Each structure stands twice: as structure tokens, then as C-alpha cells.
Chains A and B, each alone.
Chain A
Amino acid sequence: MSAVTVPDVKRPPHFPEEHYLNNSFSLKSWLTTTDHKRIAWLFFVALTFMFFIGGAAATVMRLELLTPAGDLVSDGSYARLFSTHGIIMVWFFLIPSIPNTFGNFLLPMMIGAKDMAFPRINLLSWYVYMLGAGVLIGALFAGSPDAGWTFYTPLSTQYTDPATIIAAVGVFIVGFSTIMTAINFIVTTHRLRAPGMTWFRLPLFVWSMYAVAILMLLATPVLAITLLMVTVQHWLGIAIFNPAMGGDPLLFQHMFWFYSHPAVYIMLIPAMGVVSELITTFSRKQVFGYEIMVFSMLMISLASFFVWGHHMFVAGESVYSALIFSVMTFIVSVPSAIKIFNWTTTMYKGKISFDAPMLYGVSFIGLFLVGGLTGLILAMTGLDMNLHGTYFVIAHFHYIMVGGAVTAYMGALHYWWPKITGRMYPEMWGRAAAIAIFVGFNATFGPQYLLGVAGMPRRYHTYPPVYQVLNEASTAGAVVLAVGYALPFCYLIWSLRYGKIAPPNPWGATGLEWKTASPPPPHNFEEPVMVTDKPYDYIKYDAEHGEWQGRP
């Protein structure tokens, strides 16, 4: 990547004269921007807001579960809390999280493009997201959804608060935002790569965005039509999934999980992309098995469509199908295993430093490992018939989604923060938060595995007293976790003003995004980009720039 002028490292860090944040200031310039970097900010603000709503709901839930009786909130409120929590966290936070913020910000820069292929559709995607979020929040005021994030029929269509359906409409709308972003990712990756940026020179993060876009495009429409059918069934009172009129409730489950299992990988693959970047950068070593990493991500994209039935092992699907879905589930898990081994091998004989992003990266590996291994236990039909619907499942997916994906998101936030804002975050606070989150997380969800083993069903507002001790432990952990998440919120805002000014490449990393100023100029690069190297060539980097001396 030699044709890019390397910014002078010797000069003390300074802000570039003009960058994407200061070329205009008005509110209008933000709301009508087509700059992918600014759109990333728009998403970032909205997503943070939604995450806090979802997190607040979780906190109230945890407090309610302190005692066996339902003494803090009523049964109806509890149902609303976990439904809201699930819906917001899945569709309004985690699915768009990494793609719409970091993907938007970085994908064009990483491939040496000036912008996305369809910048206006990119902006539209944000407006559609906001519309969906608006409808959802409207639903919260109109009575709140209370059928869980899974909208199982006939409960959602005939037996709950009509606001459930409004929430479904919100999710339906936000699906189009996902689709638009995904179209942009794929077309941009195909058509806008800089000269010399061949497919196998793409950073793994770009590959992860590509793989996840495939998933989004093929899965989301099925969710859209499913929710549409639920809505129509509710409003017109017609039968589609209604057993009383010949419909089949399991049909809904098939269609929902045909989307939602791929959706869990939609949440995971971007995290894998991020972690791949973190691990190589802070090990200063080429990723081990780059091609295999790419193929395993693409394999996950394809194969994750074959396994949805593992959510229905005891729901009444045929035993034969259950077995097929179980075996497919195991097959899809192989690529995940490969990735874990490859990350470990990448670190081997590296030159490892422990900056906050790396701490997040490593805790991702550990927590995803635990979540994945318990996923295997659930994928065993004979064990799922015991564990299905218990807190074991809750713990499984929080380990992957919170311990894995959200942790990777935090890692990405710290890693690219200097690039995005031009300022460094305070390192000591960064590490403290990473550790607080890790500890708090395990304290929250570790006990839930035991609760599941003990048989406590999920979505229980009151529970038999035998489960109280473990629930108390979990709630205590949740408090630590909440503090852990509140910390970055505070010090990152602080750093916007008082943080040290960041050099263009604080981590001595190799990606194209580090070859331009921090924050980047409006069109990303001052000069045309030309790529000549394989990715992550740290040997060459060190030869050219001298060894990296740690963060400035």
C-alpha cells in the first residue's frame, strides 16, 4: 500500500485542517449528509440510545428476579420488559450495531473507496431505522408488546396486547433498513475496491461485512413477510397461523427461525471480523490461515440457513427433521471452531500488547467459547429436550451475544475511536472498563447456567424459592455489568474534548484506514489509493516504519 503517502510520524499529532467532522456544522448538514462516516455517527447515536433502553429494561428485570414473588413489577409489566428488552436488543441494537456503525465508517475506507456505492440509500437506511424505532417506541407507549421477541402465534395474534402487533410493524420496518445497508455493502465491495485491492487482500473485517450482508439479504425478507402475515392476521382477523381455522402455529416457527437463526450469525460474524482485526494488530502478526478465515465466514453464511429447526426440537416438529437439523447444527459449528483455533495460533509467537481493544478481543474469544460450547450441548437433541426453555438457553445466548458480540463492539469502539474522533480514549479507564465488563458479565450469566440446570424456566415472573440464591447472584453481577457499560459512556464523551490528540495510526496497524488522517478528510483519502501488499503484513510494516512503540 505504498502509493499512499504515509503521514509523518515524527511530527507531534495535530488535527488535519479539514476533516469530515468540521467541514460543516449545521444540524441540516448532518441530517442530509450522504457521507458514510457521518451516517455511521447518526447510527451510533441512535443505537447507543436504544442499547440503554434495552439495558434499563434488563436491569429492572434483574431487580424483579431478586425475590421469588412478583413484588416489584406486575406480571404484565414483566412480560413487557423482557419482550421490549429482546426486541430492542436484537433488532434495534445488535443486528445493526457493528455493520451500521463501524461497517459504514470503515468499509469504504478499508477498500480505498470514497464512499458507498449508493450514499443516498445509505442515508435512507438511517431514516428507515429511525422510523422503525419510532414505531417501536410508540408501541411501548401504546401498551407495550408482551409476547416475547419471538412473536409466537397464536399468542401474539390473538391473546396479547395489540401493541405487540405495532411492535411487529416496527421490526418489519427496520428490516428494510437492514436490507438497504446490506445491498450497499455488497455492491460497494464488488464495485468500488481501489486498484490493486484484490479479493484476497481485503481485510477480514470487510469480508465479515460481505458475509453478513449475504445473510441479511436472504434472511430478512422472510422475516418481513412473516411479520406481515402476523399483522394481517391480527388486523383482518384471518387465519394463517391460527389452528382454530386450519392454520399451523408451527409454520410460523419455521418461518421465524428460518430468519432468526441466520440472524444470530448476523450478530456474530461482524464481531468475528472485528476480533480478527484486533488480534492481528495487537499481536503484530499476520492472521493465521487468512483464506481459511474467509472461507469459514462464507461457510457460516451459507450453512446457517440449514439449522433453524434446532429451536423446535420439542415444539412438535418431526423426529426426523429434528435429527437433520441437529446434525446440520454441528456442521455449522465447525467453522466457528476453526476461527477460534486460528485466532489462538495468530497470537502464538506474536508480540502481544494489552491495550483495551485487545482485552476486549481476548475476552470475546473466551466468552464466545463458553457460549459456543453450551450451544453444542443445546444442539444435542437428547439434552435439549431437558434444557430447552430454561435459563441455560438464556445464559447460552447472552454469552455469545453480550459476552461475544457486544464485547467485540466495545473493542471496535476503542480501537477505531482515534480514527473516528481524532482523539485517544484514556487507556487506564479503558482497561478498567474492559475488566469490569468481563467480571460483571460472568457474574451475571454464569449463575444462569446453573439455574437452567436446576430447571428454572425462562420468562418467569415469579419462581419457586429454590432458585433464589442463584438469581440474587445474577442480579448482583448485573449491577457490576451496568457500571461496566456506563464507564465507557462517560469517559468516551469526556475524551471527545479532553482526550489526547491521536496520530493517524496510533496502533501501528496496516489497514488502509490508518493511512489517512485522523479524523479522515471528507473523501477519505487525499490522494488516489493503490494497493500492492497482502493484508496484515507486519513484517514489512516494521521494516518500513521501525518497530511500533506502543500507543502514543
Chain B
Amino acid sequence: MNAKSDQIKEQFETLEQQKSADRLGMWIFLATETMLFGGLFFAYTASHTLHPHVFSEASHELEWNLEFGNTAVLLTSGFTMALAEIAVSLKRRGLTTLLLLTTIFLGIWFLVVKGVEYVDDFQNGIVPFIAGGYFYTGPSPEIAKLFFNFYFALTGLHAFHMSIGVLLLFIMTTLAWRWRDPDKLTRQMTIVGLYWAFIDVAWMVIYTTLYLLQQ
């Protein structure tokens, strides 16, 4: 085992083996994330079947136009992240850093716009769990609360994942800036890239069902 490079952890024989283990591990983790989001989604769908009319009326309160741009931003950030992965594998330090920074920028943009929407929501009185935040006047305001709760739960869970993603990207950027070990960085970037893209996936589903379907 003396020939083993120090890139390889003890329990592995080859780098290829280690890499594939990491990727498999990440994908499995993402499958559990799918179930996590999916569970919440299911709760939403089931409640929707109980009050379809109230739900679709309530969804008109959401600002689809704000989030339309935001979705495009998120898709683009997925794109720049994928590019960053290519850049790092080609060992282009500057480009990698730049693309990562772009991704972070887009990610934060998304979060800020999301925040703006939350503030609007508060002003429009559709935040049921804050005192003074709820004066919705559509049909059955009591039941519409259910919709808004799900809306905040889903987007909140998503925003939480986004924040973790942004944090990870910051770490990646620092590492890319230092450029100590490009091979290792390439492997790490693949993993973070998977996570970031998963956030896109989750958002696509949320946007379509919450904002679009009821229009």
C-alpha cells in the first residue's frame, strides 16, 4: 500500500474507487432530499384536494412575476455552476473563481428577491403565523391559511437549502482562490455542483405547482 498516493483515504485502493464512492454517496443523499421535499409536497397536494377552490384563489396572492425572473436567475446559476465544474477540471483557476463568484451572486440575488417577496407578503397580509401579518380577504380566509402555511414551508425549506448551498459555494471559492490542490477541488466541486443543481430541481417543481398551476 506504499504506492498509494496521499490523495486516497485509507479505506480505498484507488482514486477512481474513492471518487465513485463520493458521488454515489451524494446521489443517495439527494434521493433522501427528494423524499424530504416530496413529503412536504405530498402534504400540500393532499390538502389541495380537500380545498381546491380556496387554494387556487389564495395562490393568486403570490407574486408569480417576481419569481418568474427569479427562476431564470436560479436556472442561470445552475448553468454557471456547471461551467465552473468544467473550468476547474481544465485547471483554469481564474475562470473557476469567476464562475463560482457569479454563481454565488446569482444565488444571493435569488435569496434577496425571495426576501422582498416575503416582505410584500407581510404587507399584503398573507403571513398567518406573525401577529398582524394576516388580513387576507379572499374566500375562506381561515382555510386559506393552510395554503399560505404550505407556501412558506416549501419556499422556506428551499431557501434554507439555498443558504447552505451558498455557504458551500463560499468555501469552494476560497479553495479555488488558494488553488492548493486542483484535483481534490475538482472532486469537491462535483459534489457541491450536484447539491446546487438539486436545489434547482426542487425549485422548478415548487414554482410550477405553487405559482403557475393555479393561474
A interface with B by C-beta (< 8 Å): 108, 113-119, 179, 182-184, 186-187, 190-192, 217-222, 224-226, 229, 232, 236-240, 245-248, 251, 254-255, 523
Q: Report Cα–Cα, A309/B45, bound state, in Å.
A: 18
Q: Name the residue on B nearest A247 (C-beta).
A: B146
Interface string of B125-160 (1 = CB under 8 A from A): 000110000000000101101100110010000000
The answer to whether A179 touches B145, judged by C-beta atoms less than 8 angstroms apart, is no
Q: Which 7 A-B pairs have the closest CB atoms?
A: A246-B143, A221-B35, A225-B39, A115-B11, A221-B36, A236-B129, A191-B21
Contact of B46 among A115, A187, A251 (CB under 8 A): A251
Q: Does B17 contact A (CB under 8 A)?
A: yes
Q: Which residues of B contact A222 (CB under 8 A)?
A: 35-36, 38-39
Q: Which residues of B contact A115 (CB under 8 A)?
A: 10-11
Q: Report Cα–Cα, A6/B20, bound state, in Å.
A: 32
Q: Report Cα–Cα, A245/B20, bound state, in Å.
A: 49
Interface stretch (choices B26-34, B80-88, B192-200, B204-212): B26-34
Q: Report Cα–Cα, A236/B142, bound state, in Å.
A: 15
Q: Report Cα–Cα, A218/B29, bound state, in Å.
A: 10
Q: Report Cα–Cα, A232/B21, bound state, in Å.
A: 36
Q: Does B112 contact A (CB under 8 A)?
A: no
Q: Which residues of B contact A217 (CB under 8 A)?
A: 28, 31-32, 35
Chain B proximity of A109: nearest CB distance (Å): 12
Q: Name the residue on B nearest A246 (C-beta).
A: B143
Q: Number of B residues contacting the other chain (C-beta, 8 Å)?
A: 36
Q: Name the residue on A nearest B148 (C-beta).
A: A238
Chain A proximity of B203: nearest CB distance (Å): 17
- In the assembled complex, 5 residue pairs joining A and B whose CB atoms fall closer than 8 Å, in A order, are A117-B12, A187-B24, A192-B12, A239-B149, A240-B146
The answer to whether A179 touches B32, judged by C-beta atoms less than 8 angstroms apart, is yes
The answer to whether B146 touches A246, judged by C-beta atoms less than 8 angstroms apart, is yes
Q: Name the residue on B nearest A176 (C-beta).
A: B32
Q: Given the interface contacts A183-B29, A245-B143, does A225 sit within 8 Å of B36 by beta carbon? A: yes
Majority-rule SS of A interface residues: helix
Q: Does B47 contact A (CB under 8 A)?
A: yes
7 other A-B residue contacts (CB within 8 Å) besides A182-B28, A240-B43, A246-B145: A190-B24, A191-B17, A191-B24, A222-B39, A246-B140, A248-B46, A255-B42
Q: Report Cα–Cα, A219/B35, bound state, in Å.
A: 8
The answer to whether B32 touches A225, judged by C-beta atoms less than 8 angstroms apart, is no
Q: Which residues of A contact B36 (CB under 8 A)?
A: 221-222, 224-225
Q: Report Cα–Cα, A187/B40, bound state, in Å.
A: 27
Contact of B11 among A113, A220, A221, A229 (CB under 8 A): A113
B interface with A by C-beta (< 8 Å): 10-12, 17, 20-21, 24-25, 28-29, 31-33, 35-40, 42-43, 46-47, 50-51, 54, 128-129, 140, 142-143, 145-146, 149-150, 153
The answer to whether B28 touches A251, judged by C-beta atoms less than 8 angstroms apart, is no
Q: Name the residue on A nearest B49 (C-beta).
A: A248
Q: Report Cα–Cα, A229/B152, bound state, in Å.
A: 12
Majority-rule SS of B interface residues: helix
Q: Name the residue on A nearest B31 (C-beta).
A: A217
The answer to whether B43 touches A183, judged by C-beta atoms less than 8 angstroms apart, is no
Q: Name the residue on B nearest A191 (C-beta).
A: B21
The answer to whether A245 touches B145, judged by C-beta atoms less than 8 angstroms apart, is yes
Chain A proximity of B144: nearest CB distance (Å): 8
The answer to whether A251 touches B43, judged by C-beta atoms less than 8 angstroms apart, is yes
Q: Report Cα–Cα, A538/B11, bound state, in Å.
A: 30
Q: Given the interface contacts A218-B35, A246-B143, does A192 sit within 8 Å of B21 by beta carbon? A: yes
Q: Name the residue on A nearest B55 (C-beta).
A: A246
Q: Which residues of A contact B145 (CB under 8 A)?
A: 238-239, 245-246
The answer to whether B146 touches A239, judged by C-beta atoms less than 8 angstroms apart, is yes
The answer to whether B146 touches A118, judged by C-beta atoms less than 8 angstroms apart, is no
The answer to whether B25 touches A118, judged by C-beta atoms less than 8 angstroms apart, is yes
- Most central of B25, B37, B54, B145 by chain A CB within 10 Å: B25
Chain A proximity of B125: nearest CB distance (Å): 15
The answer to whether A221 touches B32, judged by C-beta atoms less than 8 angstroms apart, is yes
Q: Name the residue on B nearest A242 (C-beta).
A: B146
The answer to whether A248 touches B47, judged by C-beta atoms less than 8 angstroms apart, is yes
Q: Name the residue on A nearest B130 (C-beta).
A: A236
Q: Which residues of B contact A226 (CB under 8 A)?
A: 39, 43
The answer to whether A225 touches B40, judged by C-beta atoms less than 8 angstroms apart, is yes
- Most central of B20, B47, B51 by chain A CB within 10 Å: B47
Chain A proximity of B198: nearest CB distance (Å): 13
The answer to whether A183 touches B25, judged by C-beta atoms less than 8 angstroms apart, is yes
- Most central of A108, A117, A219, A226 by chain B CB within 10 Å: A117
Q: Report Cα–Cα, A118/B191, bound state, in Å.
A: 14
Chain A proximity of B174: nearest CB distance (Å): 21
Chain A proximity of B2: nearest CB distance (Å): 13
Q: Report Cα–Cα, A224/B33, bound state, in Å.
A: 11
Contact of A117 among B21, B46, B129, B143 (CB under 8 A): B21
The answer to whether A187 touches B129, judged by C-beta atoms less than 8 angstroms apart, is no
Q: Name the residue on B nearest A219 (C-beta).
A: B35
Q: Given the interface contacts A117-B11, A224-B36, does A254 sit within 8 Å of B153 by beta carbon? A: no
Q: Which residues of B contact A182 (CB under 8 A)?
A: 28
Q: Given the interface contacts A192-B12, A224-B36, does A240 sit within 8 Å of B28 by beta carbon? A: no
The answer to whether A246 touches B50, judged by C-beta atoms less than 8 angstroms apart, is yes
Q: Given the interface contacts A118-B25, A221-B36, A226-B39, does A240 sit within 8 Å of B149 by beta carbon? A: yes
Chain A proximity of B129: nearest CB distance (Å): 4
Q: Name the residue on A nearest B150 (C-beta).
A: A240
Chain B proximity of A274: nearest CB distance (Å): 24
Chain B proximity of A40: nearest CB distance (Å): 16
Q: Report Cα–Cα, A217/B28, bound state, in Å.
A: 8
Contact of B28 among A186, A192, A232, A523 (CB under 8 A): A186
Q: Which residues of A contact B32 (CB under 8 A)?
A: 179, 183, 217-218, 220-221
Q: Report Cα–Cα, A222/B34, bound state, in Å.
A: 10
Q: Which residues of A contact B39 (CB under 8 A)?
A: 221-222, 224-226, 255
The answer to whether A192 touches B46, judged by C-beta atoms less than 8 angstroms apart, is no
Q: Report Cα–Cα, A190/B35, bound state, in Å.
A: 22
Q: Report Cα–Cα, A402/B54, bound state, in Å.
A: 48
The answer to whether A238 touches B25, judged by C-beta atoms less than 8 angstroms apart, is no
Q: Given the interface contacts A119-B11, A217-B31, A238-B128, does A245 sit within 8 Å of B142 by beta carbon? A: yes
Chain B proximity of A242: nearest CB distance (Å): 9
Q: Name the residue on B nearest A116 (C-beta).
A: B11
The answer to whether B129 touches A237, judged by C-beta atoms less than 8 angstroms apart, is yes
Q: Report Cα–Cα, A246/B48, bound state, in Å.
A: 10
